[in-house]
């Protein structure tokens, strides 16, 4: 498990969680999808995304990707989603929402920066404990 999301405190502040999420999106922006995928922990629902699933879910935001997918075009192999680094995204407004689902699980909705602006493509994460000393962040879904 990659240490980016392995958090040795159950009481992480929202700003610290946001910083970890920004780091994860930074991996995507730098084309490090494999590393981003291995940084994830299965969610309480057992969901764990692979590199190709993350690319696909982000790609569904791009009309060219969707047309290629619908027509079966071979260019899908070479598709690279245009994720922007959060610190360099100036257009639009970042969306970040925290909601406590129960005593131990917090749901976080985070807008993904695509092609230089904050998009309505959202990543849903869960922040939850895996033992009495460690909490983690897991990716539950990517949607619009």
Tell me what pLDDT residue 5 has. 53
Question: Does the structure show a pLDDT above 80 at 11?
Answer: no
CA distance 77 to 92: 30
> In CATH, which of 3.10.450, 1.20.120, 2.60.120, 1.10.260 is domain 12-143?
3.10.450
Rounded Cα gap, residues 103 and 100, in angstroms? 7
Q: Enter the pTM of the model.
A: 0.87
Confidence of residue 74 (pLDDT cuts 50, 70, 90): low
| CB-based burial label for 79 (10 Å; 0-12, 13-18, 19+) | middle
From 1-15, 16-30, 63-77, the region with the lowest mean pLDDT: 1-15
Mean pLDDT of the region 79-88: 87
pLDDT at 24: 95
Helix (H) or strand (E) holding 114: strand 106-114
Render pLDDT for 95-122 as a digit per residue (tens, 0 to 9). Answer: 999 999 998 899 999 999 999 999 999 9
**Residue 9 above 60 pLDDT?**
no
Q: What is the reported pLDDT for 78?
A: 64
Domain boundaries, the chain: 12-143
Q: How far, rounded to the nearest angstrom, does the alpha carbon of residue 22 sit from its chain's CA centroid?
A: 9
């Amino acid at each position: 498990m990659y240490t980016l999301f392995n958090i040795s405190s159950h009481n992480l502040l929202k700003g610290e969680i946001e910083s970890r999420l920004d780091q994860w999106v930074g991996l995507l922006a730098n084309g490090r999808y494999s590393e981003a995928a291995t940084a994830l922990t299965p969610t309480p629902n057992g969901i764990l995304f692979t590199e190709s699933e993350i690319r696909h879910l982000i790609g569904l935001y791009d009309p060219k990707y969707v047309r290629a997918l619908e027509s079966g075009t071979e260019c899908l192999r070479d598709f690279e989603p245009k994720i922007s680094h959060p610190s360099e995204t100036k257009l639009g407004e970042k969306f970040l929402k925290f909601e406590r689902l129960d005593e131990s699980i917090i749901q976080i909705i985070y807008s993904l920066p695509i092609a230089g602006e904050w998009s309505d493509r959202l990543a849903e994460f869960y922040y939850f404990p895996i033992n009495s000393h460690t909490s983690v962040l897991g990716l539950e879904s990517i949607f619009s």
